[in-house]
Amino acid sequence: MATQSRLGGRPPWAGAFCFVLAVGGCVAAAETPDTGTQPKADASSVAMDAGVDSSPVDLPPKVDAATGDTTPATDATTDGAQFGIATRPTKQTCTLPARADQPVAKLSATGCVEAADPKKPAASLIPYDVISPLWSDDADKQRFMAIPDGAKIHVKNCAREPETCMPVFQGGTSFDEGHWVLPVGTVLVKNFLFGNKFIETRLFVRFPDMWAGYSYQWDALQTDAALVPEEGLTADVLNARGVKQSWSFPSRNDCLECHNETAGASLGPDSRQFDWSIKYPSGIVANQLATLEHIGMFDAPVARLPALVDFRAQGAGAPTLEKKVRSYLHANCATCHRPEGNYSAIDLRFGVTLQNMKICNIEPNKGDQGVVGSMRLFPADPAKSVMVLRMQALDKLSGRMPQLGTSVLDTTGIGLVSDWIRSITSCP
């Protein structure tokens, strides 16, 4: 059975929004089943260290939600195929607070949700999902974007505007290539749920001179969510299995640890993360980039880039281990671990060669996690690889990565990275 985004698979608008907060604390996509293939651009077209190809690529197949059957999809911009959204939403109600330091106290009063039923997004919001999500302690996510009426999204094209892009890394393209510059007034909305219970809603807002993030905690009756104090808070919640676990509601400073200027602030909205098909509330399964182009969200035609892959995909046609791991690291780690980032000694961006990642057989400079002779990546031995040992650590004091926003081990990610390390027998 083919894997697809669960956007629309729960109640109305149960999709995903992308507001990635605090390392690993802001996830980027709804969970997908553990089997099947991903309904996104052909993984075989994703070349490591490939340059940008501005020509169109094959669109992902359409997936029948009931049967999992796929049918070829064609470029809707040329042959009239269906789009997930017919026309651009109008009369935007989800707007900026008057001041960044004076956010609205109740989620129901923000204009980003229906006032009478805050679980539902406002009609002016656009649902979206990302290919490679951040880990968020096994919570489900719903993501939406609110773009001001008439405003356009600018997509970085480094050939046309090299002065706006980071230096090109060796053997590949600039990390900024394909990044979305969202207009002033944009609000990214993200719900975190366990089962059908809403735990938190985050708003990430672009002001004229800055981005700001706000966290809202849902009440026990699920009627509304209240603004979390500026310093954040931690509370016990019941996960989807009914087991108590700690949940971190980020402080406003935590938001900007990952949503930093070097990383592009908004993080998730990026052509590499959007070039796949999702199921829209309309019931239509369609490519996100094609849909957003169709409704006029961009200020220029969007070049197609080597896309990330769904690292959760299994079965026939699933991406290679290499591509899954590199996509996972890009989404979960490269926000900080890249040139000019908060920790630039290593480079975990998608497309960087193993040699240029600066991890293979290189001694760690932040401690060996108590394992004598360990390396950042010890070929064929995850038990002596600090990048795995840090993922397995239980808290920040013990060297956990990521440091913020998570308290539950990501066993899928740990397993992927461990398998990848076992496959590496020597360093370049």
Q: What is the pLDDT of residues 321-342, one digit of tens each?
A: 999 999 999 999 988 887 776 6
Does some domain include residue 244?
yes
According to the model, what pLDDT value does residue 177 have?
83
Residues near 305 by Cβ (< 8 Å), separated by ≥ 6? Answer: 52, 53, 173, 177, 178, 271, 272, 275
Does some domain include residue 238?
yes
pTM attached to this predicted model = 0.79
Does some domain include residue 294?
yes
Q: Among all chains, which residue has been given the structure tokens 């040699």?
A: 355
Where the chain has pLDDT below 50, the residues are 1-80, 170-171, 263
Residues near 154 by Cβ (< 8 Å), separated by ≥ 6? Answer: 180, 181, 183, 298, 299, 300
According to the model, what pLDDT value does residue 175 have?
61
Segment 142-172, tens digit of pLDDT: 999 999 999 999 998 888 888 877 665 544 5
Domain that includes residue 271, residue range: 43-319
Does some domain include residue 18?
no
Does some domain include residue 91?
yes
Does some domain include residue 207?
yes
| CA separation for the pair 287, 105 (Å, rounded) | 36
Q: Is 399 left (phi over 0), alpha (psi -120 to 50) or beta?
A: left
Please answer whether residues 83 and 286 qualify as being in contact, where contact means their C-beta atoms are separated by less than 8 angstroms.
Answer: yes
Q: Is the peptide bond before 364 cis (omega within 30 degrees of 0)?
A: no
Two tokens, residue 266 = 């908004």
Does some domain include residue 353?
no
According to the model, what pLDDT value does residue 345 have?
84
Does some domain include residue 81?
yes
Q: How many domains does the chain have?
A: 1
| CA separation for the pair 422, 381 (Å, rounded) | 6
